[in-house]
Amino acid sequence: MLSEEIVNKIVKEQRDGMTANDKKRDKGLKVPKDLKCFYDIPYSKDDATCKLDLYRPSRSTKKPFPVIVSVHGGGWIYGDKELYSFYCMELARRGFALVNFTYRLAPEHKFPLALIDTNNVFKWIIKNAAAFNLDLQNIFATGDSAGANYLSIYANILTNKTFSEEIKIKAPAKLKLKGLYLNCGMYDWTLFSDNQERAALLQALMPYGGTSREAKLGSPALFVTKDFPQAFVVTAEHDFLRPSAALMVQALCAVGADFRYKCYQSSREKLYHVFMLNLRSKEGSKSIDEQCDWFKSLIR
């Protein structure tokens, strides 16, 4: 086990680096005029940070909007809804009600508190569907990096009874996710067992410092079943988590789950980890179109 000093140092370095990169990426972006936005809605009393934003097209319609829930990335130790607002707004502009929420971060808040927050967001959606014109028959979710990890774990809670009993989170009985977009995710901690940075993040995340049992519970590829929601597993040519996507694909194949897989690559630009968050990237915009088109193909 790493010393607390080393773990704290790596957490700080990660937070500082991601903050600088995200501010540079989103500098100058503005809120689209064709959206109606609802900000800072509390979805739980567990913590003051437990708030969500909801974005949807501003056009008037009696037909409810299909829903996308975004689970942000950030290595389990960084991020909030503000840092994902522009990306989420682009998804909403394509005809969806987008729920963008902040969850509690490690190391201040340990696993599985962020999953409890995620569960509370879906409870909020079910409770407030009528007020915000949300289509409960067509709920989708997207997550990148650590967010894809959390989203995959949550999908296992919904579809694997043994796992849900082990993790002790009870999902809403009425909830069914029509499709998951899993972007550049971490699906099995054993893949990076000899990497100090990953070991520090696992140690920061878990209550007992990342025991073998905790590492297993945090590895969603180990618990998928044939009932796992339809998934679109995405990575990129230069994504450092690309090997993890391959493990998730193998796991889904092994149980006969319904999924798609794509590794994005381009001759025009190098595509790295979570490249689609860069709204100035042509390939990123293309991937957002493909994500939303796939969601729409599942609407019934």
The CB-based long-range contact list for 260-265 (8 Å cut-off, 24+ gap) reads 260/231, 260/232, 260/233, 260/294, 261/232, 261/233, 261/234, 262/232, 262/233, 262/234, 262/235, 262/290, 263/234, 263/235, 263/236, 263/237, 264/234, 264/235, 264/236, 264/237, 265/236, 265/237
pLDDT for 52 equals: 98
DSSP-assigned beta bridge partners for residue 261:
233
Backbone phi and psi for residue 158, each to the nearest 5 degrees, phi listed first: -75, -30
pLDDT for 267 equals: 92
pLDDT for 191 equals: 86
Instruction: List pLDDT tens digits, range 208-262.
Output: 999 999 999 999 999 999 999 999 999 999 999 999 999 999 999 999 999 999 9
Query: Is the pLDDT assigned to residue 193 strictly greater than 90?
Result: no
Strands 51-57 and 97-101: antiparallel
Instruction: List pLDDT tens digits, range 127-181.
Output: 999 999 999 999 999 999 999 999 999 999 999 999 999 999 999 998 999 999 9
Handedness of CA 245, 248, 252, 255 (dihedral sign): positive
Instruction: List pLDDT tens digits, range 4-44.
Output: 999 999 999 999 999 999 999 999 999 999 999 999 999 99
pLDDT for 248 equals: 98
Q: Is residue 87 within 8 Å of 274, Cβ to Cβ? A: no
Query: Is the pLDDT assigned to residue 59 strictly greater than 90?
Result: no
Instruction: List pLDDT tens digits, range 141-156.
Output: 999 999 999 999 999 9
